[in-house]
Structure 1
Amino acid sequence: MTSMKMETKQYSEDFDLQNYWLILKRRWLTAATVLAATVGLVGLATSMQRPSFEANGRLLVQSNRTTSLTGVGEKVGTLESLKREGNPLDTQAVVVTSYPILQRVIDTLQLKNSKGRPMDPEELSKQLKVEAVPTTDILNLKYSDNDAEMAANVVNQIMKAYIDNNLKTNQEEANKAGRFIESQLPRAEAELQKASEELRLFRTQNQIVDLERESAANINSLSLLQDQLNQARSQLADVARQEQVVRDQLGLETGQAIDLASLSQSPGVQEALSQLQQVQTRLVTEQARFKSTTPQIQTLQQQEQDLNALLQSRVSEAVGASVQVAPGALQVGDIKRKLAESLATLQSQKLGLEGRVGTLAGLQSSFRSRMAATPTLVKQQSELERKQDLAQKAYENLTSRLQEIQVARNQQVGNARVLQNALVPTQPTGRMRLILLAAGTMIGLLLGVAAAFFRDMMDKSLKTVKEAEAQYGYTMLGLVPKFETSDTPTIVSPSADDISPRVIAMTSPRSMIHEAYQMLQANLKFMSLDKKVKTIVISSAVPREGKSEVAANLAATMAQSGRKVLLVDADMRNPSQHHLWGIVNSVGLSNVVVDQSELRQAVKPITNNLSILTAGVMPPNPLAILDSEAMTTLLETIAKDYDYVLFDTPPLAGTADAAVLGKMADGVLITVRPGVADAGSISAAKSLLDRSEPNILGLVANGVNVRYEPDSYFYYTSPREQVSERGEGARSVRSLLTK
């Protein structure tokens, strides 16, 4: 659906353009006349102008890299465009034509206008042309004036004023940049000092010398600590396991085993124990000999008690606490004593290893905390270092630019210099005349086209066959191209001595016009397949559409095809058939109907198959004759004697003759000629036909200029050239009729 809409739109646009072109072809004489008049007037005005001289000078405009001062986007003397696609030379071209520079030139040279008053900068700029030479850094200055020497002086003075202005602008920018940098230096220095102090305080507070090396060292230390911690934990586990084995063998707690080992090695305890044992031995011996009441036994018992007390006292001193230990517990063997010593040693080792593990774990936690804080410290240090670097670069940059400013303030070199001074021209320029002539030609073309379209719009007649067909609403049965008598071939029929050359079917058979009438005859035959059409009324909307020629040529064409044809001139108001056929209009239709003259005497044979019944004497009321019973009787009579009867009737505009006769006949054929009838005349004629309700066979377009038609399928090369093949011409006309 979208494709169909696009094709329809494209066809409509092409058709509109084609119509415009056809209008220009129809009204070419009007357009050419207006164009010639416009160009002539412009040429006359140009020839009356005074000669003009053009001076030419050139400026070389380049960027001066030694005058780049600030380095932060503001460059003195550097030609840079704000837009990347822009050309800085275009900007300088506008500067050259600025009013301050032009006013300075006007004041220096005391330029006057044509009225003798001081020239205005706007007037000077109209005669000045400044343009950039492509792919170069050169500005080309052109100035036109009636005085050749003045033209050269103006160009040279403009270049001088521009260079002076450029140098002054550069120096002003240098001073501005210097003041700006001098105001920024203290601030940049303060920023640098502040950034350096912040970095120093950060390193001091966090005890940082070199974070990268410290981070690497921490990783190595943490790995070493982990190894040592694992080793200490392994040793601690081994010592704990040995301790448990010894404790199980000894059957004592760790504290008791330590006390036992300590008492077994105490000389005082062992000495008291030895004495106690000796007393006890003697007491047992004496008790065997004496009674318990004897002094000896009592003395020994007293000694035992004293030694036992001494032993407990020495045990408390050795242990460091008041404890009661049985004397038998103090007597241990070497194995048990060694086991107690081993248990004490293992306990000591265990305590040492536990302390080592705790120390190593604390160091590991400390290193891990430091390493966890290292990324944050690195980030903070990097930000502080970056801030210090930026402050340092800004300070160094401003210091360097300040030194360049001192050079720029003292130099007297700008960005532009004169590449070529303007010389006094010796020959006047003809460019302005050419421009005026070209402009006049363009204006003439526009005015000519406008005049052509205006005249075509004012002409209310129908211009093309399509317009006529659309206005009538009838079928187009035939198209007869426009021709002149001299355009037809010189083939003449033997019986065409007195016949008018306009009867092309008789005077020039086998021509393109003749074939057009053959196509019309064929289409009429197609129209009468259902009902035989023998009597045909041929008329038109207005005069000068060629209905009589169409009737004559169609009758001759039908007769040449072997049909018996009678051509009746029913236009008793303005008869013309007798002129076309070269016969006398003495007795005709009016005589036959009114005077009851013999039909045989009135009918004049032209060929074996073609006869003519002229109009006869002009009656006072032709409509009464055509609308009479006698006319109806005559029509019935001649219809029996001939295969075809053609009636040439008056135009439909203003008369009812054709409508009345058309009601009696089998059909009506309307002749239309592009450029003659207008929409109003056709509307009136169609209204008359609609009221009378005849059988409208269709339209035949006469005098068609095939070159002015939007869709012309005629095989057309020159007016005198015939169609190469008869069938091809018929197919061409048929194609146009079926569109």
Structure 2
Amino acid sequence: MSPFVKRYLLALDRYKWPSLATLLGVLGISAVVAMQPPPPPQYRAEGVLVQNAPVVALTATGTEVQLRGQGIISEQFLLADVLLEQVSQELERRGMPMEPDTIRDRTTITLESVEGEDAQVQRVTVVFRGPSEEQTQLTLSLMFEAMVELSRVTNRARLGAIVTALDERLPAVESDLRAAEQALEAYDRTEGPAIQAALDGSLLGAISGGQQQQRQNQIALAGLDAQIQSLQQRLGLSPGQAFTASALSADPIIAQLRSQILETETQLELLSPTLRESHPTMQELRQNLAAYNALLTERAQEVVGGQDLAALPSVSDVRQNSTLDPARAALANQLVTLSAERAALASQQQVLTQADGQLRQQYSSLPNKQLERDRLAQQVALNQALYDQIQAKRIDAQAAEAETVSSLTVAEPPTVVAQVEPPPNPIVVLAVGGLLGVVAAGAVAFLLDLLDSTARTAEDIQGILTDQDVPVLGLVPGLEATSAQGWPILYPPHSPDLEIYERLRSSLRRAGSLAEAGAAPRVVLVVSSRASEGKTTSAFNLGIAAARAGRRTLVIEADLRQPSCGHRLGVTLGPEAIAEPLHYYAGRQQSPIQLAPWVENLYLAPSPGPQPHPAAILESSEMAQFLADARARFDLVLIDAPPLGRSNDALLLGAASDGLLLVTRPGVTDKAVLEALLEQLLENEDLPVLGAVVNATDRATVPTLPPAPGPAAPTAAPPLIRSVDF
């Protein structure tokens, strides 16, 4: 039998009640389904909608809206919430209430394209299933009316949206057009004359005329400069000095003051030889002379007007410049006139130069101005075209309102057909239910087994051990009880199961020899991952097999958390050992090692448990000395240690042992715990794993060997120290 089938049968046996419940549940459901009355007849209404053929439209917007309305036909559109709500309200008004969601669930829509006379036409097949013929017919008819109306309303709404969008956009476009026109008008007002002058040639004429006038002015300035220079040489005066001298000479008051000054100076000159300076007449004359000079200076300033005062620093200068004769005065006036003409021509020449520069700059910027005007004119044209297009589109959309119709029309009115389903055959239903129940029961057992992490077969445990490179030293079948208490201890000397433990002993010796380079293990630590895996029974039976083979064997019960199992071998322990465990292992009260009365060469050190602090006892010097003495006295020492999944007490004894023997059992060993335990043990190089034992396997899987010869009974008591390997 394959491991998979074996595991599956074990799972069925283990989870028989959940599997049976699943089987009965499925059968019960099948029976309920088989006993159901035949379903009531269902009614199926079917009709066809097609898209409207394109009508002859006078407007482009109407044609566009109609085509777009045909393009949105879909199942979602035809089963819109508003449509279903309207149909539901109408059914309720007629006494046949039905929820919108129910209508949607019972409706099936199929869209397909078929070849028409001119082009492909979309065909919509609508199927509705209802409980009664009347309600089914009415519901599908109302849905057809609503679908056609929804298409028409959608097309009109789309047309209205187009008109609204155009109306919203028109003011902004019109505003842009007006702004562009105003910008062009303003530019024409400012730059239009210059552009026009350039276009008709007047600008070039003005530039040429200005240049001609400048040349004439330059010639006139040259002639005036020659005349002014000649007069200056003849008079010895500049134009400003000539103007001053001419003005002073022509003034009668200055002439009168000059004569009075001359007369006063004459009197002073005549009286100065005869009169002293302090004489009243001399003082009076000098005062008159000073007054006349002051008046002359003031009058000269009034005549000249402050223009050439810098040229008249003293009274003598005024008197000298005011004595021109008529001929020189005429020349001075001519010099002043020519100087004024030259200044006027120079000013005119400067104005002509500035005007020529402006005309030339205006002529050079004429292309840019023309381009700017063209750009403004183009902007006006673009805005005008957009404005005209929107106006035309708006008028077209308003005219298309009368042409907008629904995109759907009814091609085939709804027809109702009754659908009667035959009732299912009860026998077939029960047979199918039974088959499904069997499959479901097996699936439940299999799933529950997958969720269970316990190793159910020996193959599962062997696979884990093989993956971790741990040798399987023996497969032990399920042992029958050999005592009234149900203990599977192999007391009889010729029990056939002793051969299994004898092979286990030999395998253990070979495994230890390979691990320790030829030295067979003397002290073996027997452990398990959890309780109830047969660790103690395996230790006792392995000790019995070694003792039957003539080996002086000691089994030490090191599980100080549990009571002793020594009574299984006929060994009891006094209460003083439990009270003083350290004294017990030190041999102060009694020897902790007792001979098993039922098996020759087998000794037992019972456990003084349960103890409150077992770790302290296992780590004590008394325990170390006891284990050292046991190693020296016996051929084989088996330490029955506590399960590793419960505590780490067994690892405290690892230093005193030569290796570890792991005991497992299908149906008890947890796969995850075993894998974690093996990883931890294999990482500990100080405590080698000698191998593992798989308990409670099928006898068919245990290899058979020819019976081993029975051991010879010892003729004398074994010595205290034996060097022979077991």
TM-score, normalisation: structure 1: 0.44
TM-score if structure 2 supplies the norm length?
Answer: 0.44
